[in-house]
Chain A
Amino acid sequence: MRDQLKTNNKILAGLIAIFICFHDLAKAEEIVFIVNAENPIKEMRNQDVVDIFLKKKREWADASGIHFIDRKDGSVERHIFLTQYIGRSDRDIELYWIGQKLYSGNAAPMQVLTDQNAEKMVSTFKGGMSYVLSTYVLGKGVKKIMIQGNTSP
């Protein structure tokens, strides 16, 4: 009986763990944009995010360079970023950067694997900007900014 109880507890714990896990996954459907803590910007339009990502806009208001840190292809964050903010597929973006490299010389932004790396890079570069899961706890070197005009859920 006692063993049965231990088994049930394990099952319950597993279920709870699975619940917690799914709960976290559900919450990971949102990303937030981060910039260096010293950056005075508090919010930007969705179109500005698109222009920065596509390197159509390369400087902040104070003329300092923008370092946009992208996330690895196939990551949840990038999927959300492309679908909800950029409005293009992975394939479209890949072709876009091939074309850019050929005709304008612009290269795709650097990609990092984790939120931690993204945060560290943004905190390292004063003009840094990236995105992380909304659940990620941010350090002091970065800050969130609000994106206006994004109608995605």
Chain B
Amino acid sequence: MLTNIGSFQQTSSVLKRLNWVIILVVFSFVIELVGLFLSSNLLVENFSSIHMSNRLFDATVTTSESLEGAMTTLNKASTERTHLGDLYRVYQANYAQAHDSIDSALQMSNDSAGINNHLKKLKEKLETFNTSSNHIFSQEEPTPMYFSGNVDLLVAQEYKLELDELLRKTQLLVKEEGANAFETVYRLRYLPLLVTLLITFFCVSFTILTGGAIIRRLRKSVDNLMEATKVVVGGNLSYHAKIIENDELGWFTFAFNQMIEKVAQLYQEARYAVQIRDDFLSIASHELRTPITPLKLQIQSIIRLVKQGRLAQLPPEQILKMLSITDLQISRLTKLTDDLLDVTRITSGKIDLRKERADISKMMSEIITKIRSELYAQKYEITMNLQPGLFVEMDLSRIEQVFTNLLSNAMKYGEGKPIEVTTSRTDPHSIEVRVQDHGQGIALADQERIFGRFERAAPSANFGGLGLGLYIVKQIVEQHLGTVRVESSLGDGSAFIVSLPSEMAVKQ
């Protein structure tokens, strides 16, 4: 995943944040438009109020003029009492015009309760005036005069006066509303501009702050990674970069930490491998040198005897001893070389097993027979508890190498105490061979480690060897699909248990 850059979608972190900034800018623009619309609409409403006031005022003026016309007609009708029909039609026309004007004004003034109430009263008074006026037209004779006035006409005039008063009050209210609307328009003339500027300022500030915060967070993550890189480059492989956000950068930080952990682990392993290599070179050179020195001494001694012509004078036992020592050292060298070759084969996977059916108890008996002289030489007492008929599919030479190694170790670390070899069938599918010594034992902490290459539980200064024996044992046993383990405690000796699949299991 780390190497597949092409499939990596770098959008949810950087681009997603940039998307947010773009969304904020668009949102700001929309807010600004809404603010501009609302503030402009407020002005438009007030302009509409002014227009409506003018129309209302016109309606009241029309009403007033119509009433004047009606009153003039009434005066004529009341005083002259001629052409009453014509006068009545003129009066009705004026009355109808006044009535329509008030109705029209009523429709226009729905939003203004004060004006509307005045107009309703006006309409009621107009009806009263009309009733009074109709009374004048309905009289056949002139109404009685009281010195200087016609009372019916006076009554009509009184109603007319009230109508004038109401009209005037209505006009004052209409003018006041118009003036208020105009004052509002004048007062708010810069409102759209102000709203636009304020919203723009707010939105731009908000966008800058938000965008800045997003960039700061992004930069914080990047800086965090850069700082971690510097620390790691400085040699601190235990450093863990803090994962700030759950995004690609966070994932990248996590991967970086994982990578550093892996690098640290590889570094430790490499250091350990180098240490082991150095130790091995030291041990190998010592081990290889150990048999060479006596070998060289023996050979030089033989050469010197040959040159002096004294070889023939030596008793055969002496010569045999010298050659035996030489053979022993050569065997040791051969063993060391074989071990190294085996390790190389195992590591490169070139070890070939030639399996055949064999009784493992019989094979153990033969191995012990072969090394019996050495056991006696080192005064080891060996006890065998071998169960016959335990057949295993195995490479005889390799399995023999396994148990020779184990018995060799038992003699090396057994401190001369008895060695026990046991074979048994633990279950129908596996056969177990146990090599038990009663030497110094192996510490629990070392019991896993000793099966590694160049590993040894005891210091190399006290015991020879390359530390490859148990490694080879383990590899060969595992090649046979078996296991090897150790049961040991310090001071009580060690038991190496090799478990191999039985012939029955192999067939299955």
Contact = CB atoms under 8 A, between A and B. Distances in A.
B172 A103 contact: yes
Interface string A55-85: 0000000000001010000000000000000
B179 to A, nearest CB: 13
A105 B149 contact: no
A110 B146 contact: no
A113 B145 CA distance: 12
A117 B149 contact: yes
Nearest to B165: A107
A114 B170 CA distance: 33
A121 B150 CA distance: 10
Interface in B148-171: 148-149, 151, 154-155, 157-158, 161, 164-166, 168-171
A151 interface: no
Interface of B: 146-149, 151, 154-155, 157-158, 161, 164-166, 168-172
- Summarize A's interface: helix, strand, loop or mixed: mixed
B168 A117 contact: no
B43 to A, nearest CB: 29
The 5 closest A-B pairs by CB, nearest first: A105-B169, A105-B168, A116-B146, A113-B148, A114-B147
A104 B165 CA distance: 9
13 contacts: A103-B172, A104-B169, A104-B172, A105-B171, A107-B165, A110-B154, A112-B149, A114-B146, A116-B147, A120-B146, A120-B154, A121-B154, A124-B155
Interface size class of A (residues with CB under 8 A): 10 to 19
Interface in A100-147: 101, 103-107, 109-110, 112-114, 116-117, 120-121, 124-125
A117 to B, nearest CB: 5
Contacts of A113: 147-149
Nearest to A69: B158
A120 to B, nearest CB: 4
Contacts of B158: 67, 69, 110, 121, 125
Contacts of B151: 117, 120-121, 124
Nearest to B118: A105
Contacts of A101: 168
A114 B148 contact: yes
Contacts of B169: 104-106
B165 A105 contact: yes
Contacts of A112: 149, 154
A106 B166 CA distance: 8
Nearest to A101: B168
A20 to B, nearest CB: 21
A89 B86 CA distance: 44
A34 to B, nearest CB: 15
Contact of B157 (A110, A120, A125): A110
Contacts of B157: 110
Most buried by A among B146, B147, B169, B170: B146
Nearest to B170: A105
A106 B146 contact: no
A84 B166 CA distance: 30
Contacts of A67: 158
A106 B165 contact: yes
Given A105-B165, A107-B164, A110-B161, 17 more contacts: A67-B158, A69-B158, A104-B169, A105-B168, A105-B171, A105-B172, A106-B165, A107-B161, A107-B168, A113-B147, A113-B149, A114-B147, A114-B149, A117-B147, A117-B148, A117-B151, A125-B155
Nearest to A67: B158
